[in-house]
Amino acid sequence: MKGRLLSQGYEESSSEFDADIVIFNTCMVRETAERKIYGKMGQIHKKGKEGVQIALGGCVTQVKGEELYEKYTYVPLIFGSRNKHNIARQLEQISDSQRVIDLSFEDEDLEYALNASRDSEYTAFVEIMKGCNNYCSYCIVPFARGGELSNTPERVLAEIQDLLNRGFREIILLGQNVNSYGIPFTDGIQREIDFPELLKKILKFSDLFRLRFITSHPKDFNDELADIIAEEPKMAHSLHLPVQSGSNEVLKRMNRKYTREEYVGKIVSLREKLPDIALSTDMIFGFPGESEADFLRSVDLLKDIRYKTGFLFKYTPRAGTAAAEYEDNIPVEEKLRRLNYAIDIQKEITREIASDYIGTTQEVLFDGKDKTGKKISGRDTHDMIVVADFPDDYIGKVVRMKIYDGNSFTLFGRPENE
């Protein structure tokens, strides 16, 4: 959206309180994210620039746009989760007397993607598919984003070619379930290409340094994909494989369609092929009916697998999903106790894994400044952040770095031969 608006002559404001227009792109996955939006919106309405226009779009509006349109009469524009590319046109339609609500589903064109304003000049996200058909019982995404649709391979390859021509080195393919790539395509024309085939085509780009993807659903993660990650030198040695729970009972009620044993089996087999693969996961604590024993099975799985990173959440019901009909029988304090216990265990594992890097050498693609603005930072194949005392002209370069220090989130390195 930022890219489209900049290309239409809009300028970015230094603060949301100085802006003529403030756009909220909303997330509905968890209640906490949703709640924050309303508070922030009220703040901008009261303390923002005189006459500020607020536009509200994304997943929350896709699900409850009509209700919000009635409730927040000071918001002149409500758009959806699949028509963000029309933002400039929608903004033109609003006036003092005209409010707009547009929740239509439309696919954005290649031009929209090519105009994207990106944070990094070397690492780029490329959306290959959108939506989800999996209906995990806790999850609002299938309702908020609609069914699965893939961008055509012609479009994906053209976008990547353009990025590589502009000097990008690393591509991260995006989709709620990348394994479903190709069924069906946005243009309705069937092609004989699936996700592994798409990866192979992208890996042929000679200017590409590294390729990653998120997210792969464990039920669809297979040997073919494991082989590509293990054998193709440009594939990153990192994989996000969200498990959600370590208990088969809970997995079943979550409608995840795999058992703990099947999940662990896939990881064991991948680790046999590629021992240094760095794994990350998502887990939900306090799902309806999660017993103490179920909870301990999740904790036990964290200890067994030893993920590099765990994104751990407390369950919040989302109206309209199947689990919202289950009795939410775990008090919030208990959900938090379980969550915090698991977070402490994961923190320790993350810290231990990071400390194992000290003394090793990693190939790092530097792609920007670090948080202090004084050093530069990049990532290695395991998605570890490595910071170095280099001049800015190292940004965009790949350097073999010897790691001499680190904490859970950041490693510090110097060139291997120094």
Residues that bind ligand SF4 (CB under 6 A): 132, 134-136, 139, 141-142, 176-177, 217
Task: Choose the contact partner of 186 out of ligand SF4, ligand SAH, none; CB within 5 to 8 A by kind.
Answer: none
Using the minimum distance from each CB to ligand SAH, give the nearer residue, 28 or 101: 28
Which residues, including other chains, have CB under 8 Å from residue 369's CB and lie 6 or more apart?
Answer: 375, 376, 377, 392, 395
Using the minimum distance from each CB to ligand SAH, give the nearer residue, 29 or 88: 29
Using the minimum distance from each CB to ligand SF4, give the nearer residue, 135 or 311: 135
Strands 100-102 and 170-174: unpaired
Query: Which residues are at the interface with ligand SAH (CB under 6 A)?
Result: 29-30, 138-139, 141, 176-177, 215, 217, 242, 244, 282, 284, 313, 315-316, 318
d(CA 56, CA 24) in angstroms, rounded, equals 5
* DSSP annotation of 322: G
Using the minimum distance from each CB to ligand SF4, give the nearer residue, 129 or 141: 141
Task: Choose the contact partner of 318 out of ligand SF4, ligand SAH, none; CB within 5 to 8 A by kind.
Answer: ligand SAH
Q: How far is the CB of 254 from ligand SF4 (least distance, A)?
A: 8
For 316-351, b where at least 16 C-beta lie within 10 A, e where not — what string?
A: bbbeebebeeeebebeeebbebbbeebeebbeebbe
Whole-number Cα distances in Å, 298 to 116, 146, 225, 246, 346: 39, 30, 25, 4, 11
Q: How far is the CB of 219 from ligand SF4 (least distance, A)?
A: 9
Using the minimum distance from each CB to ligand SAH, give the nearer residue, 90 or 177: 177
Q: How far is the CB of 17 from ligand SF4 (least distance, A)?
A: 34
Q: Which residue is nearest to ligand SAH (CB)?
A: 282
Using the minimum distance from each CB to ligand SAH, give the nearer residue, 283 or 399: 283
Long-range contacts of 132-137 (CB under 8 A, 24+ apart): 132/176, 132/177, 133/177, 133/180, 134/176, 134/177, 134/217, 134/255, 134/257, 135/255, 135/322, 136/244, 136/254, 136/255, 136/256, 137/253, 137/254, 137/255, 137/321, 137/322, 137/323, 137/326
Q: How far is the CB of 139 from ligand SF4 (least distance, A)?
A: 3
Task: Choose the contact partner of 284 out of ligand SAH, ligand SF4, none; CB within 5 to 8 A by kind.
Answer: ligand SAH
Task: Choose the contact partner of 315 out of ligand SAH, ligand SF4, none; CB within 5 to 8 A by kind.
Answer: ligand SAH
Using the minimum distance from each CB to ligand SF4, give the nearer residue, 101 or 243: 243
Using the minimum distance from each CB to ligand SAH, give the nearer residue, 69 or 138: 138
Strands 410-415 and 385-388: parallel
Whole-number Cα distances in Å, 89 to 58, 77, 324: 16, 11, 36
Q: How far is the CB of 399 from ligand SF4 (least distance, A)?
A: 36
Q: How far is the CB of 243 from ligand SAH (least distance, A)?
A: 9
Give the bridge partners for 129, in sequence order.
150
Task: Choose the contact partner of 369 out of ligand SAH, ligand SF4, none; CB within 5 to 8 A by kind.
Answer: none
Task: Choose the contact partner of 142 out of ligand SAH, ligand SF4, none; CB within 5 to 8 A by kind.
Answer: ligand SF4
